[in-house]
């Protein structure tokens, strides 16, 4: 509203100040002019009384004195002469309201007594009629035996006062009008640059840091505009510096292999990078909770750690195991001066380090274990033949058959190790072709229908094919799928089921092999893609078929060669799910 603006406040302030000054000045001027007119009238009447006194002194003829007095006096006043014989003569007057003065009234009002004590009288009082207020002056006659009184009505003074009041109020009105004009002009001149600064400030809040305020004057307001423009430049500089620092920090956090989570005191996740999000997803899956992008609350399992950090104001190191992966979390408090405003958690996946350590320890033992059995059998049966323990030809043939099978087993082991080494070295060439997905998968699943029927297991294919074809090496991919489906059937009990889910859209081919088998222990999940890992030792259903422990390692290398991803999720006695994702557009 108008009076809430700077223009209104400044204009109203100036107007009130000038009005107050004019009010005080008007009162003083009215009082001054009233006193001035009264004193002027009294002086004129005293002058008239003095002239009459001179006439009394120079002439003895009362008629002459009366005639001369009528001529020299003001028409608006009357003159009363009290002679020594108590005779009172009163002149005529132009005002009919002025009554005659009588000696008895003069004595009653004690004017004669006052005249004896003073040289003159100046008073305002009611005349004998009691209705008319008048000014009266008096002086003694030259012989001090009588008195001369001159009086006139105050109406004359009131008329003069009214005229003077009109003039003063007219001048005050003109002054107020000019003040209003001046106040609006001045306030507009002052506030116009301020309004431009306000608009520029709004532009700054919208991020328009190039906005400048025009410098129209060289006074304090001009200096303020200059300082505002300098502030805008400095603000732009600092905002750009902060933006660059934020982008740099965001790039650093995003490129970190470790997970980073920034938290406030309430447990809200403010900043997270991709490794941290994968950790949170695994934590939600472990606790059967759905992942929501809108839920930015820290999981309850980590809130206790946050409370320890805030209350103790110290960093806390904590280890967490999820889905067979080992995570180490270091949570450190964040300070706002001396107040803990939150915490930052750095999460490192230690699975690979521990896997490499375990692999280093177990590799020689695994190879030795895998080779020891066939070598021992070869050595034992060959010694039996050499020592002629096998007497008949049938026994020798049986021993030879066993030696042949063990040599084939050793050959398969060596070949698989060579294939795996060749894949890891990048020497394996893929024969990529454009393959129709649905017929390809149906053919592979059909191969296991007999094995599934024999084990009383239901196997089925479910698919959502948007794009009909995909590019991959059909032989290598068949090797992967056969290995996964075969494992799923072998480790699923009777009346169980194995389902192959396929989804091929415009971005990727996704294949999931899910079973209802015994599941994989959580501690073994990180190592199932490693060499010589055998699912049989933890979830074996039967001993009809034993592998070398290299199938899943080879499968992972084949998927890696296709620039894809293979993942596993499993729970004991609930089943296992392997998921393969092959992108259609692959980076070189």
- CA distances, 203 to each of 193, 208, 213, 214, 222 (Å): 15, 5, 11, 14, 19
Residues 6+ apart with CB under 8 A from 461: 441, 442, 445, 499, 500, 502
Edge to edge, the sheet with strand 339-349 lists: 269-272, 259-264, 339-349, 325-336, 316-322
The pLDDT value recorded for residue 503 is 92
First-residue to last-residue Cα distance in the chain: 67
Q: Which two tokens stand for residue 342?
A: 């939150």
The pLDDT value recorded for residue 545 is 46
Please say whether the beta carbons of 318 and 306 come within 8 A. Answer: no
Q: Which two tokens stand for residue 463?
A: 């698919």
Residue 183 CB burial class (10 angstroms; 0-12, 13-18, ≥19): buried
Taking the chain (588 residues) in consecutive chunks of 10 residues, what is each chunk's mean pLDDT?
A: 62 82 86 83 85 83 82 82 80 72 73 74 79 83 80 79 84 85 76 76 77 75 81 83 84 81 85 83 76 69 84 86 82 84 87 73 63 73 75 76 77 69 65 89 88 87 89 87 88 89 91 89 80 52 53 83 89 89 75
The pLDDT value recorded for residue 540 is 41
Q: How far apart are CA 481 and CA 483, in angstroms?
A: 5
- CA distances, 279 to each of 273, 286, 291, 406 (Å): 10, 11, 12, 45
User: What's this model's pTM, rounded to 2 decimal places?
Assistant: 0.37
The pLDDT value recorded for residue 499 is 92
Quote the radius of gyration of the chain (alpha carbons, Å).
60
Please say whether the beta carbons of 344 and 306 come within 8 A. Answer: no
The pLDDT value recorded for residue 534 is 60
Task: Tell me phi and psi for residue 461, to 5 degrees.
Answer: -115, 125
Q: How far apart are CA 103 and CA 82, in angstroms?
A: 8
Please say whether the beta carbons of 263 and 270 come within 8 A. Answer: yes
Residues 6+ apart with CB under 8 A from 196: 213, 214, 225
Residue 302: closest CA among 334, 358, 341, 263: 263
**Residue matched to tokens 């004690």:** 110
The pLDDT value recorded for residue 539 is 39
Q: What is the DSSP string of 155-212?
A: HHHHHHHHHHHHHHHHHHHHHHHHHHHHHHHHHHHHHHHHHHHHHHHHHHHTT-TT--
């Amino acid at each position: 509203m108008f009076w809430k603006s700077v223009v209104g406040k400044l204009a109203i302030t100036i107007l009130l100040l000038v009005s107050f000054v004019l009010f005080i000045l008007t009162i003083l001027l009215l009082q001054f002019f009233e006193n001035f007119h009264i004193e002027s009238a009294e002086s004129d009447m005293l002058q008239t009384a003095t002239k009459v006194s001179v006439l009394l002194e120079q002439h003895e003829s009362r008629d002459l004195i009366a005639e001369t007095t009528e001529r020299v006096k003001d028409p608006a006043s009357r003159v009363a002469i009290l002679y020594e014989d108590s005779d009172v003569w009163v002149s005529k007057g132009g005002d009919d309201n002025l009554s005659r003065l009588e000696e008895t009234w003069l004595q009653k009002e004690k004017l004669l007594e006052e005249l004896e004590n003073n040289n003159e009288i100046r008073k305002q009082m009611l005349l004998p009629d009691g209705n008319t207020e008048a000014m009266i002056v008096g002086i003694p006659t030259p012989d001090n035996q009588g008195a001369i009184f001159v009086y006139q009505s105050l109406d004359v003074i009131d008329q003069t006062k009214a005229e003077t009041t009109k003039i003063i109020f007219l001048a005050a009105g003109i002054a107020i009008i000019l003040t209003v004009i001046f106040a609006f002009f001045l306030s507009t001149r002052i506030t116009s640059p301020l309004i431009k600064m306000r608009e520029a400030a709004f532009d700054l809040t919208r991020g328009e840091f190039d906005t400048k305020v025009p410098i129209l004057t060289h006074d304090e307001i001009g200096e303020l505009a200059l300082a505002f423009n300098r502030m805008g430049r400095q603000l732009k500089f600092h905002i750009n510096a902060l933006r660059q620092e934020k982008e740099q920090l965001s790039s650093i956090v995003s490129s970190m292999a470790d997970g980073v989570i920034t938290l406030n005191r309430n447990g809200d996740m403010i900043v997270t990078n991709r490794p941290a999000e994968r950790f949170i997803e695994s934590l939600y899956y472990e606790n059967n909770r759905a992942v929501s992008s809108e839920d930015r609350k820290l999981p309850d399992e980590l809130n206790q750690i946050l409370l320890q950090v805030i209350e103790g104001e110290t960093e806390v190191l904590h280890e967490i195991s999820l889905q067979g992966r080992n995570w180490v979390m270091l949570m450190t408090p964040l300070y706002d001066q001396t107040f803990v405003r939150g915490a930052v958690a750095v999460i490192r996946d230690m699975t690979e380090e521990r896997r490499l350590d375990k692999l280093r320890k177990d590799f020689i033992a695994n190879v030795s274990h895998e080779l020891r059995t066939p070598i021992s059998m070869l050595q034992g049966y060959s010694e039996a033949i050499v020592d002629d323990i096998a007497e008949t030809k049938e026994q020798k043939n049986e021993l030879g058959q066993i030696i042949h099978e063990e040599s084939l087993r050793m050959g398969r082991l060596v070949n698989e190790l060579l294939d795996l080494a060749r894949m890891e070295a990048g020497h394996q060439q893929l024969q990529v072709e454009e393959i129709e997905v649905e017929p390809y998968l149906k053919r592979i699943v059909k191969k296991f229908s007999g094995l599934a029927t024999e084990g009383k297991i239901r196997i089925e294919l479910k698919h959502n094919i948007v794009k009909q074809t995909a590019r991959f090496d059909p032989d290598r991919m068949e090797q992967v799928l056969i290995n996964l489906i075969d494992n799923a059937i072998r480790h699923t009990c009777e009346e169980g089921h194995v389902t192959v889910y396929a989804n091929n859209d415009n971005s990727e081919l996704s294949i999931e092999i899910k079973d209802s088998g015994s599941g994989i222990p959580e501690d073994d999940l990180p190592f199932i893609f490693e060499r010589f890992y055998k699912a049989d030792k933890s979830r074996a259903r039967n001993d009809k078929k034993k592998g070398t422990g290299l199938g899943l390692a080879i499968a992972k290398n084949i998927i890696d060669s296709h620039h894809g991803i293979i993942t596993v999720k499993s729970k004991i006695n609930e089943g296992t799910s392997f998921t393969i994702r092959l992108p259609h557009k692959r980076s070189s």
